[in-house]
Structure 1
Amino acid sequence: MFRVIQRSMGPASLSLLTFKVYAAPKKDSPPKNSMEVDELSLYSVPEGQLKYVEESRGPLEESISDEPYTSWCQKTYFQSKPKMQSLVQWGLGVIGFAGLSGFLSARGSIIKKLVYPPGFVGLAASLYYPQQAIVFAQVSGERLYDWGLRGYIIIEDLWKENFQKSGNVKNSPGTK
């Protein structure tokens, strides 16, 4: 395990290094003929001055902008925008209150203090963000299953090494 960490730390730490590279021509190379920027076809400057001309509105734009439903949509949007913002702030307040209540109800053990506040915040946040909560639960469930399976394999290997090799389980008194 230490060798794996040791071998992976070298390339990983090299990627964090920063250094400057300066390019200079070789001393023995002959000087090349340099070109002006205007001589390059990519960088040619067009002659004359450019002028912005705004296009006139077409009949479709005129008919849409004159219709009464566009003003109704704008009016409805500006009326509902503050309500939606207050609703979002209220939802954040509920999530924050859930975390605070989890912190206050977690008196006693350290495990309660580690589990209750994030649990209450997660429960309150899942009410407002159900799709993200489902994805989080699926990913977390898969990880918990993997960790449980790894733990089971480790405990099984330890059990086999310590008890079955020495014969403590098979040759213990009372089992024949």
Structure 2
Amino acid sequence: MLKVTGSAMPAAITLFPFTVSAAAADGEKKEAAAAAPLHRDELSLYAAPPQQKSRYVEPEAGQLEESVATLRKTAEPYTDWCRGTYDKIKPKVQSVVRFGNDAYSYLKNPPKEFYPRAGVIGFTGVLGLFLGRGSRIKKLIYPAALMTVSASLYYPEQAAGIAKSTGDSVYDRAVQSYAALERIVKPQSKAAEDPETKP
């Protein structure tokens, strides 16, 4: 049994020092127990409970979790392949969608005289198909050539830019092909002309 002496106000107990008298245990004298002052932390009422070390135990997987994990491992190569294919196709699909949106907005508010020009260019393509009867090569060359000529009449600046860039690229390819052919042919001719290389 504890007997607390000190201030009468409960809130002031924590602020001011006070004396605690404890009852004697079995076989001890009351005077000895009453004479020894106890600190507040030594009382069991204010002592913190002993700390227990806790550890996390992984719960055992059930049959459903095991079957889902097996299914996931089985499907993982296929999902990785689909993800890789999607990552490769996604930019192309986005560019096609962007081109479609741009074409739709352009055709919704076309510039003046767009549809008559498009009709004439389309008519020249049909005329090229009519003139190219009899041969598959003519069916490819005539419509493309006639549509190119009629489009260049209506859009000369764009046609000149495309012709210039195409001409430059064709010229560059021709020079590269000539240089490659020269490298292939020249060493053989040097080896045939040089008598020191012969054994």
Is TM more than 0.5 here? no
Normalised to the residue count of structure 1, the TM-score between the two structures is 0.42
Q: Which has the higher contact order (CA 8 A, sep 6+)?
A: 1
Give the TM-score of the pair, scaled to structure 2.
Answer: 0.37
Greater share of residues in strand: 2
